[in-house]
Amino acid sequence: MIKLDRVNKYFNKGKANQIHVIDNTSMTLPDKGIVCLLGPSGCGKTTLLNCIGGLDKVNSGKIWIDNQLITRFSSNKIDTIRNARIGYIFQNFNLLDDRTVFENVAIALRMVGIRDRTVINNRVRYCLEKVGIDQYRNKLAGSLSGGQRQRVAIARAIVKNPRIIIADEPTGNLDSGNTLEIMNIIKTISRERLVILVTHERNIAEFYSDHVAEMKDGRIVKAYNNDSSRYLDYQLENKIYLQDMPVRSEFAKDDLKVSVYSDEERQAEIKVVLRGNNLYIDTGGRLNVVDETANIEMIDGHYTAMDESYFEDKDFNYTAYLPAKYKAKYTSIYKLSNMLSSGWKTVKNFKKVRKFLMVGFVFAAMFAFLAVSNVLGILDVKPVDYRTTNGKYLTIANPEKTDALLEVVEGLDSVTYVMPGETKISISLPMDDYLQTSYASEDLTVSLALSEVLKQDELVAGKMPDDPHDVVIDKSIIDEFLREGLGNAVGLDTPEEFIGRRLSVPNLEDYRICGICETESPSLFIDASQMIYILSNANDVNDEFAFDGGDGEAEDIIKSGKVKDIDLATSEIKVKSGKAPESIYEVMISADHEEEIEIGKTLSVKVAGHKLKLVGFYTSDNAGEDTYYVHADTIRADYIGKQKNFSAYAENPQQLKAILDSENLPSKINDERDRRAYIHQRKDQLTSAIVVAAIIMLISLIEMFLMLRSSFLSRIKEVGTLRAIGLKKKDIYRMFTGEILVITFITAIPGILIMYFVLTQITKITYYLQGLYIVNPFVALATLGVIVAFNLLAGLIPVYMTMRKTPAQILARTDI
Ligand code: ADP
């Protein structure tokens, strides 16, 4: 049962052109029979129907359908009710023109949950037969005549056996012959179902309906049961009742007889020629000639008005072929598979221009892949790319520049050892293999680490060190060296050839490479005893971290690194008087100064704030040598005194950092510092890569938006129709999602593959490009994911805009 209580509906509410289209209307409709809304065009009949059928919303008032107050429901719930209980028949049919007759009807069955093919086939064909159109079931709906289409629409409305049929001017676009046949079918349906019929033809209303509600200006002005005896005075345009024609005359000559019937007395001169099997008629151009092919029937009798016997001989079984336990329930008709297959069909039928536009997506996908690969390539920094020091170091501030803090930190459990200053130094690789290259050498920048922390499994070639002058070098240093072709002059071109080569530091005996390791950092592993000598004699490359060195005099003392080698038996110097320095701040100077100062006095030269105490004089083979020889501890104190920080090696740098933080000791994890510096340096590159990526995505986004919008607009009628017959919004989204996915896949996959191939080739060219792009299946998939997400976003915007409208609003748009 349907009940309306004081329903009001406005168009353009609150605007100058406001129309109060339903004016406080209340009515109760019965469970079966035809209820006819009768009234002049524009009085609000369609709007009232749309409100009852849930295609439109009321502004106030209540509408119940089978005791459910639908005016309270969300559009989703209303869709459920419309789909299960209401069959809609429209004046302009609203069929899916590019689908078959069968498909148009079957879709309504699928939407109420029937999936069994045999049931669908039997039920659809039964309904098509009943409306007399089964023979056209495989034709496209768009190819049928108006009367045939309306039969399809009726079949679609009744196939799910709804309680209510809403028919909005179902015969408005039909000729009189079809009008009666369609009305007869509707009359048949109404025997056990409610049909709400809108018409402006009073004779049709009064012949067929059981109840009539007459409307005027949005109000029901008269409602009555129509049980008076029924006669339909309905002259059919294609029938001519000869006995009713007022003027008749006959001409006969021999075997030729001509009868003329006319609606009035006329003056006419007509020539008729019979030749062969042809009849030629000449009316002097004053009359139109119509022959029997125009479907005109001449009946030799009188017209009689039709009575009820005209429609009472039809039968219709509401539940024929439906499952015994059938209960209509909304079921989504789109799953991923048919989403994609129907999307594919749509795309296949795209016009040439649109197909051509799709090439744009291929390019967009190519560049999107390039951009994503570039952004990821720049972001993906590998330790070997950014590390300038061994990753296990922390740099700790030492503002006092004394040993005190070093000793405290060295004493911490998680610290393996500490190294004064930075660990990064420059060391020279002599390339004096040939006479021609006797002065050639290359400087390597390395991060010093003690060989005690080198693990056997990190060694990839050679052997572990067993002499204080053995060193192990990381492969990344060699790789860089070889990449730059620095060893070409001496034919040094494989890592293995480095084993056995020398490394030299000024003033120190050469070191020998005994092994190559892989620690993902440019490390040089040295013996602990060599640390301070190498640090103080090698070229400092830590300009950005180094503190201003001490005074000029202390600089000279660095030269006295040779003190470590005071093996007086082999040395170029000999103690002349006194002794060689044995502890910190003791000094031995050239005997050239014997006249100026005595042993036991202090020199004015200061190291780390201490004056040096003279303990001996030497003589040298090098005439004029004036080096100050001191003990290793003095060198260390001098070196520390020039560094504003030191490096601590820890197996777990994070843990040490936490400890130092809790002790309020400022420190930095080298790995993080190096990484940040590296990314900072690549920031500009990254920014431009992201900008390029964003522009490409935006272009692709706009193209997809425009394309889907035009595709959507060209199918707005289909969308309106589907919404009107009860298809839910989410299914409309799925329908277009399928199309977007198909467009995306068939364009993005080739685009990505092309660029994949191109980039694979390009990155083979140089190491630099290899660092700029990442090309792997993951990046390809990620790009596809990004494109799919963007395209769905862009493509579904127009769908979203329309889905906010009511089905009636969408249909109204398609009528324009
Ligand atoms: P009927 O079905 O009786 O011909 P309608 O219900 O279609 O009448 O329309 C009633 C009135 O509302 C008409 O004046 C029509 O112009 C107006 N109308 C219908 N739909 C809209 C709309 N979407 N926006 C504004 N006015 C509308």
Pick from 726, 698, 729: which is nearest to 796 by CA? 729
DSSP state of 264: S
pLDDT number for residue 558: 39
Q: Supply 92's token pair.
A: 């302009």
Task: Tell me how far apart the alpha carbons of residues 351 and 354 are, in angstroms, rounded to a whole number.
Answer: 5
Highest mean pLDDT among 358-362, 392-396, 491-495: 392-396
Percent pLDDT > 70 in the chain is: 93
pLDDT number for residue 560: 42
Q: Is 19 in the pocket of ligand 1 (CB under 6 A)?
A: yes
pLDDT number for residue 550: 34
Atom of ligand 1 lying closest to residue 39 CA: 3
pLDDT for residue 813 is more than 90 = no
Beta bridge partners of 249: 260
Q: Supply 614's token pair.
A: 């003279």
Q: How confident is the model at residue 554 (pLDDT cuts 50, 70, 90)?
A: very low
Distance 723 CA to ligand 1 centre (A): 19
Mutate to test the pocket of ligand 1, among 46, 48, 55 (most ligand atoms within 8 A of CB): 46
pLDDT number for residue 324: 86
pLDDT for residue 541 is more than 60 = no
Average pLDDT, integer, range 60-69: 92
Q: Is 45 in the pocket of ligand 1 (CB under 6 A)?
A: yes
Distance 165 CA to ligand 1 centre (A): 21
What's the angle, vertex CA 157, arms to CA 152 and CA 158, rounded to 5? 100
Q: Supply 100's token pair.
A: 């078959």
Average pLDDT, integer, range 627-651: 86
Highest mean pLDDT among 32-41, 481-490, 505-514, 628-637: 32-41
SS3 471: strand
Residue whose Cα lies nearest atom 26 of ligand 1: it is 11
Give the global pTM: 0.68
Distance 813 CA to ligand 1 centre (A): 13
Residue whose Cα lies nearest atom 21 of ligand 1: it is 11
Beta bridge partners of 240: 298
Tokens 């803090």 map to which residue? Answer: 405
For the chain, the distance separating the N- and C-terminal CA atoms, rounded to the nearest angstrom, is 34
Out of 17-31, 230-244, 764-778, pick the least confident.
230-244
Look up residue 682 and give its amino acid. R
Q: Is there a contact between 281 and 274 (Cβ–Cβ < 8 Å)?
A: no
DSSP string, 391-447: TTEEEEE-TT-SHHHHHHHHTSTT--EEEES-SEEEEEEE-TTSGGGTT-EEEEEEE
pLDDT number for residue 582: 85
The crossing angle, in degrees rounded to 10, of helices 716-724 and 729-763 is: 140
pLDDT for residue 184 is more than 90 = no
pLDDT for residue 37 is more than 90 = yes
Out of 31-45, 548-562, 565-579, pick the least confident.
548-562
pLDDT number for residue 559: 42
Residue, of 582 and 748, whose pLDDT is higher: 748
E strand or H helix that includes residue 525: strand 523-526
Task: Tell me how far apart the alpha carbons of residues 635 and 470 are, in angstroms, rounded to a whole number.
Answer: 22
Q: Is 44 in the pocket of ligand 1 (CB under 6 A)?
A: yes
Average pLDDT, integer, range 225-232: 72
Average pLDDT, integer, range 686-692: 83
Task: Tell me how far apart the alpha carbons of residues 532 and 770 are, in angstroms, rounded to a whole number.
Answer: 39
pLDDT for residue 627 is more than 80 = no
pLDDT number for residue 492: 87
In sequence order, which residues have a C-beta less than 8 Å from that of residue 240 and are 6 or more positions away? 261, 296, 297, 298, 299
Q: Is 9 in the pocket of ligand 1 (CB under 6 A)?
A: no
The pLDDT tens digits of the residues spanning 401-416 come to 888 898 999 999 899 9
Measured CA distances, 279 to 249, 250, 256, 282, 583 (Å): 20, 18, 13, 10, 142
The crossing angle, in degrees rounded to 10, of helices 729-763 and 75-85 is: 120
Task: Tell me how far apart the alpha carbons of residues 245 and 683 are, in angstroms, rounded to a whole number.
Answer: 96
pLDDT for residue 208 is more than 70 = yes
Highest mean pLDDT among 122-136, 529-543, 628-642, 688-702: 122-136
pLDDT for residue 451 is more than 90 = yes
Average pLDDT, integer, range 779-805: 91
Q: How confident is the model at residue 371 (pLDDT cuts 50, 70, 90)?
A: confident
- Dihedral (C-alpha) 173, 178, 181, 184: value to the nearest 10 degrees? 20
Average pLDDT, integer, range 108-119: 92
pLDDT for residue 173 is more than 80 = yes
The pLDDT tens digits of the residues spanning 305-347 come to 776 666 655 678 888 899 888 888 888 888 888 889 988 988 8
Phi (first) and psi of residue 725, to 5 degrees: -85, 5
CB-CB neighbours of 756 under 10 Å: 20
pLDDT for residue 421 is more than 80 = yes
pLDDT number for residue 509: 84
Pick from 652, 102, 49: which is nearest to 393 by CA? 652
DSSP string, 551-601: -HHHHHHHGGGGGGG--TTTSSEEEEEE----STTEEEEEGGGTTT--TTP
Task: Tell me how far apart the alpha carbons of residues 296 and 522 are, in angstroms, rounded to a whole number.
Answer: 101
Q: Is 11 in the pocket of ligand 1 (CB under 6 A)?
A: yes
Atom of ligand 1 lying closest to residue 215 CA: 3
Q: Is there a contact between 163 and 66 (Cβ–Cβ < 8 Å)?
A: yes
Task: Tell me how far apart the alpha carbons of residues 689 and 550 are, in angstroms, rounded to a whole number.
Answer: 46
CA-CA-CA-CA torsion sign (495, 496, 499, 502): negative
pLDDT number for residue 312: 57
Task: Tell me how far apart the alpha carbons of residues 163 and 144 are, in angstroms, rounded to a whole number.
Answer: 28
Mutate to test the pocket of ligand 1, among 9, 10, 11 (most ligand atoms within 8 A of CB): 11
Task: Tell me how far apart the alpha carbons of residues 89 and 165 are, in angstroms, rounded to a whole number.
Answer: 7
